[in-house]
Structure 1
């Protein structure tokens, strides 16, 4: 089974998509609440939401919109962006968010991240540019390799690991499957591929490669849906 996570990136309360993580490239698609409802109606179990404003400023910036989605939809929410301390985690848990994604703080403090995973439903987001981890809304790229960071979370309580190839994000250039497999094998976690999803061919190739490697995982679908490149409802019926 390949779990599909339709995505909503939030900027100023609206659903947008970026090109390779550049905020200036944001294209507005409309109401985040409307898209969450559509994904639920399509039969998606999860929606992957990123608070882009929060990722850049380091604190929650779209709380009211996220809370409205949670109240109006039954779909499970996987949420990231600006979650860097336990107080923020608690705020979202109390709101009923089903899984929280730690990114920048996971790179800076893996021990804190593992401790949070013992108490809360935590995923780790590893965002990489040329194989190196990028943080603070992808503004800063350091010298830590994505694979070595993934190894830090092997045999921990982390629920999932989301690996994004920034060079492909929003570009409709195809999932970097080799990178995804490297992260999955290093972490031994449920691994969610992100960045560049293009079409149903990506789903078929990713599913085949996951099965060959005996890996459990999923994929995030963003721009391909918003630009009409894929029939998400039909795909959810065939691939889940």
Structure 2
């Protein structure tokens, strides 16, 4: 069953969405992320994707307390990413009710830490492949690495991580619809579960992605389309469940 995972992006304590990862193009959707999380659960969500945008940019867990509050307020798994660069922060999150931690920058710059974390916390570590073009971006998408996303994905294949989150930055927050060519290439070279983030606009995107479940697409993260009302979460969940 393909998951549809609502996203809650945090900046300055508020629910926001960026356009193509641009911190200068922010839309605020509410000042109570905990209530928003509860609303998603009430609509049937089975998992939540939380990103500390401030943390991603600063390289530390800026919204740690708020993320933990969200995790404790709902009865479904919560995954969190953004600014998580060391084992201590990973352990703090996982010991406070967060289900999985998402690593991004360190997967490029400190792959041994990823392996150690995956070994120490089985099932608790995800890696985010954030891609601009075909190259990986880090530090809250503000810096580019000279590393092809498929190369990084293959390096992670035997790392022990629980799965990959694949984000096409050019599509994130745009509601332009999903683009599957790079996603399908990724699914063809890894056996890890993959979750797509970025671009979902309408129910047709969910229908288009559903057949890729057979290739290993585990889920899709949806943000702006839910906040703008162009996608109904209950309907998306119904189609994803088949």
TM-score (norm 2): 0.95
Aligned positions of 1:113-152 closer than 5 A: 113-120=114-121, 121-152=124-155
- 2: distance between equivalents of 1:239 and 1:63? 31
Inter-partner Cα distance in structure 2 for 1:176 and 1:89 = 32
Kindly tell me the number of residue pairs found equivalent between the two proteins: 238
C-alpha contact 1:175 1:193 (8 A) present in aligned 2: no
Q: Which residue of 2 aligns with 1:20?
A: 20
Quick one: distance in 1 between partners of 2:75 and 2:183?
Answer: 29
Cα shift readout 1:120-174 (whole Å, capped 9, x = no counterpart)? 2000001010100000000001210011000011133211100100011100111
Partners of 1:75 and 1:14 lie apart in 2 by: 21
Query: Is 1:87 aligned to residue 88 of structure 2?
Result: yes
Contact 1:152 1:187 (8 Å CA) reproduced:
no
CA distance in 1, matches of 2:125, 2:49: 13
- Please give the TM-score of this superposition, normalised by the length of structure 1: 0.95
Find the residue that maps to 2:156 and give its secondary structure: coil
- Give 2:50's aligned residue: 49
What is the deviation of 1:185?
2.5
Structure 2 segments unaligned to the other structure (5+ residues): none
Unaligned runs of 5+ in 1: none
Q: Which whole-Å CA distance do the structure 2 matches of 1:56 and 1:176 have between them? A: 26
Distance 1:34 1:116 in 2: 31
Counterpart CA distance in 1 for 2:97 and 2:26 is 28
Q: Distance in 2 between matches of 1:202 and 1:79?
A: 24
SS in 1 for 2:212: helix
Contact 2:87 2:113 (C-alpha < 8 Å) held by counterparts: no
Over residues 166-189 of structure 1, what are the superposed CA-to-partner deviations in whole Å (9 max), with x where a residue is unaligned? 011100111221211222222311
Contact 1:52 1:137 in 2 (8 A): yes
Alignment RMSD: 1.2
Match of 1:207 in 2: 210
- Determine which of 187, 192, 195 is the counterpart of 2:190: 187
Shift, 1:234, TM fit: 2.4
